[in-house]
Structure 1
Amino acid sequence: MSTEARQIAEEGIEEARAALRARQGAGARYDSPNAPATGLDWARRGTAYFARKLNELRDDELQQPSLLPGWTRAELVAHVGYNARALTRLTQWARTGVETPMYLTDKQRGGEILLGGTLPPRALRNLFAHAEVHLNVEWRDLSAEQWDHEVRTAQGRQVPVRETAWMRSREVWVHAVDLANGGSFLDFPPELVNRIIADVLAAWRRRGDHARFLLAFEDDRAPIEVGDPEAGDAPTISGTAPDLARWLTGRGARRLTCDAEELPAIPRWF
């Protein structure tokens, strides 16, 4: 496409957007131009993916185990719903300047999960649906400047509020797999898988966790060496990026090969 044709196409898109906004009226909300577009896209697509896997479950299946040890599916759904509310509090903090942490106490998160897991199925499904709508409203109310305001995560990290888009993305996509009804890392957008792998390794580095191995991908990308090279030889773990991401996040090993006798133990993600 020529430069002139591209400009005409872009002008047409902007005209269409302006017409849509005029029809929707002043009450419609849109993402700021400074919003993290890719992260919000992942978060919204992941929310739809989680909702689809949740809707595939009958009410009587919600009390069955999830892939998270000791958690029922109901507790997992409650956690995902209350996570949206916690991220909403961070977004409100960035918008208003009034400190509203994700959780008031260390016990709040665990208490919400236990209580939420006892909710009737309809209430549990509504919790998930309503919480994600509220979070989206708060995201769309952030101005361009406010997206760079700093907030504090539950782990104590100071981050710009735009980080909440990534925090929500990993939450909904990975926990959709944890529902244990057919969700797969193979369904994830490829760039999201790459970001998850990078996120796991970055979390280990921040905490000073030790692991030593080489990630070898089945495509033509360069391998990733994990750990201190001076620590000696490292076993090579080979597989597709989705299968490696599944293992790194603690969701088990599928279709991976290792040139050592067994896969090494790895630290937790977060």
Structure 2
Amino acid sequence: MRLPLRLAGVALLGLLASACQSRSPETTGSIGGFSLKNFGRAPDRNVVSLGDVDALGQKYNADQNDVGLALRYAQALRATNQKPQAVAVLQQTALRNPKNSAVLAAYGKVLGEVGRFTEAAEVLQNAHTPARPDWRVLSAQGAVADQMGDHARAQGFYEAALKIQPNDPTVLSNLGLSFALAKQLDQAEAVMRVAVAQPRADARVRQNLALVLGLRGKIAEAEEVTRGDLSPEDAAANAASLRAMSAPVRQPRAAKYPGRSPAGEFPPG
């Protein structure tokens, strides 16, 4: 069964792009620009109101040299989808504190969230040192590398993160999605199954497994995974989307190239 690479790629890249949205780009997140509802999305236990953001903004404007306050304000802006404003806050904070690893990590992650991947990669590279690597930053670097299409490099970052934080479900989930983007679906499924088996695996990790299962054509199992975390309405919508994803793709010219997958498709999985 063949799945269109462009469609699946949009879904998976959306996961990695949104990995930066729910918490930070070292963790998996929801799909952007695709019709699957709530894939990779965990319940938000840290809801931030606009009133909270305004209060933090007033405190920040009164004292922009308070690094902790700037980080909290930027996080609140991110949580309320005001990412360009978060970039501006963290840019100024990074200029004032060019060697503060926490500031650089937060700044690099938010740059990734807004699609400034080259800048994000440069900033994240300076957010830790080879002597004292930060597994969260390594995973964020992996997410950025995946967004830039360098999946082999991304997988190296995830594997380095796992050496520091073994069996972390969010890093494993990102690694599995990276394998899927690289069209290595056997490895993607195997890694995702390890991820969901971890005690701290949450709804996002399970939904990412469901997506990979859908790409493999294992629709019934994918549907079963989605039901545990979603409302009946969202589960039904996801099931329909998964079935649509796994429908055979017609390629009238494929017969001209026997034994070769048409460009833009996954080979049989």
Give TM-score, length-normalised by structure 1. 0.28
Q: Greater relative contact order (Cα 8 A, min sep 6): structure 1 or 2?
A: 2
Work out which of the two has the higher radius of gyration on C-alpha atoms and give 1 or 2.
Answer: 1
Bigger helix share: 2
Give TM-score, length-normalised by structure 2. 0.28
